[in-house]
Amino acid sequence: MTALHEGTTMTLWGGCFDVPPDVLLRQLGDSLPFDRRLASADVRGSIAHAAALKDAGVLDATEHDTLVAGLEEVAAAFAAGTFEPAPGDEDIHTAVERLLTEKVGPPAGKLHTGRSRNDQVATDLRLYLLDEIADLGPALAALQRAIVAKAESHLSVVMPGYTHARRAQPILFSHWLLSHFWKLARDTERLTELTRRVAVCPLGSGALAGTPYPIDRDAVAAALGFVGPSENSLDAVEDRDFVVEFLTWAALLQVHLSGLAETLIMWSSESFGFVELSDAYATGSSLMPQKRNPDSLELVRGKAGRMIGHATALLCTLKGLPSGYNKDLQEDKEALFDSIDTLKLELPLMAGLIRTLKVRAAHMAAARDDALLATDLADVLVKKGVPFREAHAAVGSVVRRAEREGVPLTRLDLSSYQAIHPAFDADLYDAFDAHRSVAARAARGGTAPDAVRCQIEFAEAELRRASQPIEFNRKESVQ
């Protein structure tokens, strides 16, 4: 039943109230400014509910057809941007019902039979998120494809690899870049897995106890593209696990994007010069004309705190709620919407940045030094039967001697090496070849060109697999 306050203003409640809500309560609680983006989902859910009410004998054919036609008009108004909010539109559900009432009159009052805003908003949010996931998946794949293409076109570039922000061993630039592909591949897997849990239909749960009308909830779920209906009406209306799961997924993806951004920020600096950003992804200084600042990457890095905060904030909101629906759950939407909007900007931005990234192989080569090959020097002794720990200690002594003498390892004479360990002979100098070092690491997952080519093949196969439509199996659905 609807109640009227302030003339013709509509609310979806209030029959037992003597006064309208305080204006400050309305300002605090009204969600239309941000939940209006759920309009399409709200109309879709309402059309499915109208069909269920017709099948249950609550609506006759004429009423059903009138409601569906009116709802389609409402959807068209939102799509065309002609919707104008009214003072009583506290949320998208109120706005849709008000517009529907204006278009079809009294039959609109029957649409809410057997449902509550509690199951309605949960349904809307799940429908909306499924639509957005369908866009985020391809955007994530586009970034992965950009990474693979860039890696494939730079298979001969050898650079210093780093641990603890210190030069460690030579690796292929392509190998480094592909390390970020596999982080994103795991993000894709997690997105697919959480989608199965989003695709559960709460509609028909009512406020908490279910519906007394003979609604076919399986049919409603199928009509809306869900796996199936929720199994417990109380759980269905209070469940926001799927939002938390998406927000934690988004936060982890953002951490991965931030890590990639941070490395590219360092490597594009004058101190490294390993890569150069296209001007399309840099900005200048208002004072210093020579500056090309990596603002795009800094913003991606900076968004990580906010995305982590969204997940944390919703968990904190949920942790103290009593059973059943509570208005606190309205706090799920702005965090969800912001996370989605952020990723829909960042993913194509990062894909374009990677595609246009200039790789400066000469600067990478200049940054390599003999010390990068200290492990290879130890392997020379190992191949002569020296235990690795003994070889490790011997090469450590060689490094210290070279440092004391102020010369690279290749400038130490053979007698200096043999004074440290007698197993050294003239072939030790063959170890100081970065390309040979890289090529030796040919085991699966290694940095050798052949191994990286295989990795690229696996990456392309992963992209093909991930591009297949998600097929839901009811038994696989986890609520």
Nearest to 183 by CA among 106, 80, 263: 263
Name the catalytic one among 153, 156, 269, 285: 285
Q: Is 435 a catalytic residue?
A: no
Residue linked to tokens 């909007």? 341
Contact 437, 448 (CB under 8 A): no
- The Cβ of residue 7 has, within 10 Å, a number of other Cβ atoms equal to 7
Residue environment code for 190-226, b if the CB has 16+ CB neighbours within 10 A, otherwise e: bbeebbbbbbbbbbbbbbbebbebebebeebbebbeb
Q: What distances in angstroms separate CA 450 from CA 115, 156, 162, 172, 413, one per listed residue?
A: 60, 11, 21, 11, 34
> CA 299 to CA 263: how far, in whole Å?
14
- Tally of residues, the chain: 479
- Reported for 103-110, long-range contacts at CB under 8 A and 24+ positions apart, including other chains, are 103/70, 103/73, 103/74, 104/66, 104/67, 104/69, 104/70, 107/59, 107/63, 107/66, 107/67, 107/70, 108/67, 108/70, 109/1, 109/2, 110/53, 110/58, 110/59, 110/63, 110/67
Q: Is 164 a catalytic residue?
A: yes
Tell me the three-class secondary structure of 437-458, residue by residue.
Answer: HHHHCCCCCCCCHHHHHHHHHH
CA–centroid distance for 337 within its chain: 13
Token pair, residue 286, equals 């208002």
Q: What is the dihedral of CA 401, 165, 170, 376, to 10 degrees?
A: 40
Query: Cβ contacts of residue 268 below 8 Å, gap of 6+?
Result: 274, 275, 276, 277, 294, 297
Q: Which residues are catalytic?
A: 164, 285
